[in-house]
């Protein structure tokens, strides 16, 4: 079985941790190395940028299951990069494009973007009131609705991590620390087994 993780830096899992701490490698261990796991996460990708490589880096593997996590870079607050902003309408359309491109056999698990610790993030002063996490909430909602309407299992990483965010997130306020990667892997394995996907 081929499992492709498709997303941004949370999926890629390289920022601020050693290779052995990567959540997908830990998931492979939890699944007893019985499947082929492919990481198609690219740090910094908005949903638009991720979808530009959907065919070449995801569908090319003919996946049986896609773990979909993106949306965290859709609201880039830097004035010089306003062209990167993905509106609610465009994000919804991109998710539908993702669905339309799925192989018939392919199952999907949808994952919400984890919490952002506003005051620790480098963009804190660039968002009114420093409310970076709040700015991402609409796209988390859109992701949840996408999962609900298509009967895709949802791993609500945001809600699961929120009570423990200071324990699981790096000092940069957004990326997962080693404990966060372990948590991500364990919760993913639990959900995959709950839905009999592995």
pTM assigned to the model: 0.94
Least confident interval from 34-48, 87-101, 122-136? 122-136
Assigned token pair, 10: 């949370």
Residue 21: the pLDDT is 97
Q: Which domains does the chain have, with CATH numbers?
A: 2-194 (3.40.50.1110)
Whole-number mean pLDDT of the chain? 93
CA nearest neighbour of 184 among 39, 65, 16, 11: 11
pLDDT class of 48 with cuts at 50, 70, 90:
very high
C-beta neighbour count of 146 within 10 angstroms: 20
Residue 10 has pLDDT above 90, yes or no: yes
111, 131, 138, 141, 184 from 159: Cα distances, Å: 11, 17, 14, 12, 12
How confident is the model over 70-81, as a mean pLDDT?
Answer: 73
Residue 77: the pLDDT is 61
């Amino acid at each position: 079985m081929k499992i492709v993780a498709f997303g941004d830096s949370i999926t890629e899992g390289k920022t601020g941790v050693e290779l052995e701490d990567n959540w997908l490698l830990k998931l492979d261990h939890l699944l007893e190395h019985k499947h082929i796991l492919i990481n198609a996460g690219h740090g910094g990708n908005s949903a638009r940028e991720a979808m530009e490589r959907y065919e070449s880096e995801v569908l090319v593997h003919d996946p049986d299951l896609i773990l979909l996590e993106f949306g965290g870079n859709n609201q880039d607050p830097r004035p010089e990069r306003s062209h990167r902003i993905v509106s609610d309408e465009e994000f919804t359309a991109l998710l539908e494009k993702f669905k339309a491109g799925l192989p018939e056999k392919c199952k999907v698990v949808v994952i919400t973007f984890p919490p952002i610790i506003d005051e620790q993030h480098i963009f804190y002063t660039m968002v009114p009131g420093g409310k970076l996490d709040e700015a991402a909430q609409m796209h988390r909602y859109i992701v949840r609705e996408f999962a609900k309407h298509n009967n895709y299992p949802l791993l609500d990483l945001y809600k699961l991590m929120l009570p423990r965010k200071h324990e699981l997130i790096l000092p940069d306020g957004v990326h997962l620390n080693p404990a966060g990667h372990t948590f991500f892997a364990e919760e993913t394995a639990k959900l995959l087994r709950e839905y009999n996907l592995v």
